[in-house]
Amino acid sequence: MGDSNTQSEATVRKFFELLNAEDLEGVRALLTEDAGWIPQARDMPGAGAYHGRNVIVDEFLKPIRGLFAKGSPSNKILSMASNGSLVLAETHGTGKLSDGRPYDNRYAWAFEVKAGRVAMIREYLDSYYIIRLFGKP
């Protein structure tokens, strides 16, 4: 594995550490100024495209994290592969919703990493599961 792969994967691992710890200011600092986060789903809470690290944290992550109990969801990395600045990860997200119901979903992620910071996130998940839990936005 090349150095750029190792560095890019370390950035993505750090992203999940910060997200799982609910360190949204740490996540903000790890994102490039013009970062993008695009959940690849429609008709569910959080659907859309978010551009700019402040928009991602303040208008996407904070409201979405508010749907969950403290410390939830937590994503465990199951697998990871990279080629230079592109890192693909499969995670298992578990936890509890704010009303106490369990949460259990699988994710696939595509990250673009530039100079040790996350520039783009494309998130894939079971959107039907999310709609069943929360309903349409």
pLDDT digits (tens, 9 = 90+) for 42-100: 777 788 899 999 999 999 999 999 999 998 999 999 999 999 999 999 999 999 999 99
pLDDT tens profile 27-46: 999 999 999 999 987 777 78
The reported pTM is: 0.92
Q: What SS3 string covers 98-134?
A: CCCCEEEEEEEEEEEEECCEEEEEEEEECHHHHHHHH
Locate the domains of the chain by residue range: 3-134
The CATH code for residues 3-134 is 3.10.450.50
Distance CA 82, CA 65 (A): 28
Cα distances from 96 to residues 39, 65, 67, 69, in angstroms, run 20, 11, 9, 6
pLDDT given for residue 2 in this prediction: 56
pLDDT given for residue 40 in this prediction: 86
pLDDT tens profile 113-131: 999 999 999 999 998 898 8
